[in-house]
Amino acid sequence: MKMLFVLFCLLGSSQLAMARDYCNGRFAYCVDVPNQLIWLPEADNGDGRHFKLPNSNATILVFGSNTPTVFFYTDSDYIKEKPSI
């Protein structure tokens, strides 16, 4: 979690002015995405998108959910489901 915080601090301070918006039509939310991130395809079910930091294994997931199970989603759950990129 600390790594993610540091990532947002590094990318967010002066670079947010150079961000693009990702807006999700299914759940009606928008987030600022720094230009440095690579946009991966949106999920088939339209709930969100993955973004990748170049030259790194860091991946940022942005998604919505109708069920409360998302609150119990762990890093190990993600690793089990993660497609090889």
Structure confidence by residue, pLDDT tens digits, 13-55: 554 458 899 999 999 999 999 999 999 999 999 999 999 999 9
Joined together, the tokens standing for residue 31 give 């987030």
> 23 or 78: which carries more pLDDT confidence?
23
C-alpha torsion angle, residues 38, 26, 1, 69 (rounded to 10): -140
Q: What is the pLDDT of residue 1?
A: 46
Domain boundaries, the chain: 2-81
Helix (H, G, I), strand (E, B) or coil at 16: helix
Give the confidence band of 85 by pLDDT, cuts at 50, 70, 90: low
Tally of CB atoms within 10 A around 52:
15
The residue type of 18 is M
Most confident range, picked from 22-26, 59-63, 79-83: 22-26
Biggest alpha carbon–alpha carbon distance for the chain: 36
| Residue at token pair 């230009």 | 35
